[in-house]
Every structure is written in structure tokens, then in C-alpha cells.
Structure 1
Amino acid sequence: MRRAEARITLGVVAARAGELEQAVGQGGRALTDGAKRSVPSLLMCSAELAAILRQRFAGEGTTRDYLDQLPALGST
């Protein structure tokens, strides 16, 4: 779980630096990491990355792809 949260944090840093591919890559790896024992905590961390992606990269397909994964995470 800590690894997944760290990946989200790296995604946030990348998104703030304007690195969309790296941000979405880190976020995506966090969501598929397999260590999802605390889904509420992961969703909370992911919310910050999602907000930055929506704000800075709203029209990008990779942003939509990442954001589409979040609802599925909440239903596991």
C-alpha cells in the first residue's frame, strides 16, 4: 500500500511539473500495483492527482484513461 501511495505522490509531482505521461504512468501503476489493501486511502491520494490532471490536462486522452480507472477502484 505504501508503494502505491508513493507512486501517486510521484504522479502528483510529475503532473505539477507538466509531465503528463510520467504522472499518468505513476498513477496507473499505483492503481494496478496489487497491494490495494486500503482502497479508501488510495482513493484519497488519487483524488489529488486526478484534480491536477483535470485542471492542467483535461483534454488529453491519457488523462481520461486514468480518470476512468478511478470509479472501478472504488467498487472493488
Structure 2
Amino acid sequence: MSEEHLAITVDSAPGASRRLVRCRLCGRPLTGADSRRTGLGPTCDAKLHPPVPDIRTRRHEVEQDPLPGLDPSVG
């Protein structure tokens, strides 16, 4: 028997109920595999780990004096 076959038969055993896992922050039952693995629901996970701000929204153009020796208008 391969390991894959064993995992399938164990997971699909009749009458096997999944253990109830609750969110560590709010206590609601977790149903998704990722949520059950981390112990946080998607809403609570977003509260604790906000998305990283996009650096492109923070950039802006500014007026600058040309560097000495690089001004093309000076002959």
C-alpha cells in the first residue's frame, strides 16, 4: 500500500467526525482548512495581519533642480 492510499482511506473513513476547532480570537467555529490550521478565521486573521501597503501608491513625483554638469540647456 502506498502512503497516498493510506491517507485517503483514513480521511474518508465512514463515521469519522472532524474535531471542532474554534477561532482563538472570537471563538467562532472554523471550517476552512487554512483557518483550522492557523486557528484564526479569515476576519480575525485580517485584523491581526493587515495587508502590506502597496509601495506604488506612496510614490510621487517631485520637482528637482538638475544636477550640476548634467543640464542639457547649458551649452
TM-score tier after normalising by the smaller chain length: under 0.3
Asked which structure has the greater RCO (Cα within 8 Å, sep 6+), the reply is: 1
Alignment TM-score, normalising by the size of structure 1 = 0.23
The structure with the greater share of residues assigned to helix is: 1
